[in-house]
A = this chain, B = another copy of it.
Amino acid sequence: MAKEKVVLAYSGGLDTSVILKWLANRGLEVICFVGDIGQHEDFDAIKKKALATGASKVYVVDLKKEFVTDFIFPALKCNALYEGRYLLGTSLARPLLSKAQIAVASKEGAKYVSHGSTGKGNDQVRFELSYFALDPKIKVIAPWKDKDFLNQFKGRDDLIAFAKKYGIPVKASVSKPYSEDENLMHISHEAGILEDPLLRPAEDVFSRTTSLQKAPDKETMLEIYFKDGIPIKVVDKTNKVTKTDPLGLFMHLNKVGSENGIGRLDMVENRYIGIKSRGVYETPGATILWTAHRDLEGLAMDREVMHIRDMLTQKFSELVYNGFWFSPEMDFLMNAFDKSQEAIDGMVKVALYKGNVMTVGRESDRKLYDQKFSSMHEEGGFNTEDSKGFISVSAIRLKAHYVALGEKDPYAWRSKKAKK
């Protein structure tokens, strides 16, 4: 009888190599899936290692362009930020990897998918919710939540011993005292020594961005053009470079962002799983895009649309962080955000300098802020006497409140409280 197939999300590292062999030892045919989302890896070497370790096949899939157009840009449309600061670099990559992995499983007729994420983190949730959303019948093998696996591998030493036993190459280099996750959008550093929230990460923790001190002492000037809320052209005036394709322009922003020390973040965040966690992030290109996009919205978006949209942005960000990228509520929100971006067209001038992304000018065909409309005001569309009426009517409720509370200062409690 043919073996059952499992598609394993494979990175080439120690953990997933051990998992590969462990799955094979359980009598499964292991097909490796390697998603290229912009991490710096030798994919040929990974492929060879997978085959050498017992994989029957290896799929290396280039997902970089789809990552930019289908995951980063939709998040940009609503300026997604988790807990006011985190740009969701890891959260956005996970559902894409799941989608590509499920596509392999479907093509191969595999009953199982497997991943190497641990049971205390966010990524297991993001991977598995996406698996189930895209294929409700799929079965998941998550070794780091499997009793047998956990009993067999109680620490790194057990993994290394197992690897040696089966001839799996183990890197001689000392591993970093914290863990990292890298993709086209960002690199994150967390756990290990970084779990102490008071400890400042040493400069050598940062690998994606130049230190602020070493960043150039002269601004890099960019012009970023948007259509329907999506960047369509980046003109780098300083380096005389123009990019118009999504991947190309994003990579260029990463390059100049990186050189100018853009996008570092050190924060304590709330995991979906109910635990607080300290993360250190470097997100150069997206930080530039987020800043420029919001700036253009200031010029081209209606106030009330913006204020309602902003309320939904928070919900969107939580859903992305928690792993609900593929869900009906995300369909609802994305469709809404698309509508809000229909006329977010124009250009933003951005100056990069030692960690700063400064929007210093912007223009738009959208006429919400232009001469023609201003002159309409002068013709009578607006006259200052109207403001009197506007304020009088707005004040009616406040006057009633004063009277209702007995004609003495209703707000005195605040000062008393502040003085305590």
* Residues of A bordering B, CB below 8 Å: 66, 69-70, 73-74, 79, 83-85, 118-120, 124-125, 128-129, 132-136, 142, 144-145, 147, 150, 197-201, 212-213, 217, 264, 266-270, 273-276, 278, 294-295, 298-299, 302-312, 314-315, 318, 324, 326-329, 331-336, 338-340, 343, 349, 353-356, 358-363, 366-369, 372-373, 376-377, 381-405, 409-411, 413-415, 417-419
Contact = CB atoms under 8 A, between A and B. Distances in A.
The secondary-structure label for the interface of chain A is: helix
The 8 A-B residue pairs with the shortest CB-CB distance in the complex, in nearest-first order: A389-B389, A119-B384, A274-B396, A136-B399, A386-B389, A270-B303, A268-B298, A304-B329
A382 B120 contact: yes
A384 B201 CA distance: 28
Contact of A274 (B125, B331, B394): B394
5 contacts: A142-B388, A302-B328, A307-B314, A354-B356, A390-B393
How many copies make up the complex?
Answer: 4
B414 A334 contact: yes
Given A197-B361, A199-B361, A273-B393, 4 more contacts: A125-B391, A150-B384, A353-B354, A354-B354
A395 B266 contact: no
B266 A360 contact: yes
B85 A294 contact: yes
Nearest to A271: B303
A74 B414 contact: yes
Nearest to A312: B308
Given A197-B363, A356-B354, A411-B326, A145 B74 contact: no
Given A212-B354, A332-B340, A118 B384 contact: yes
Contacts of A270: 298, 303, 306
Nearest to A267: B298
Contact of A328 (B125, B305, B354): B305
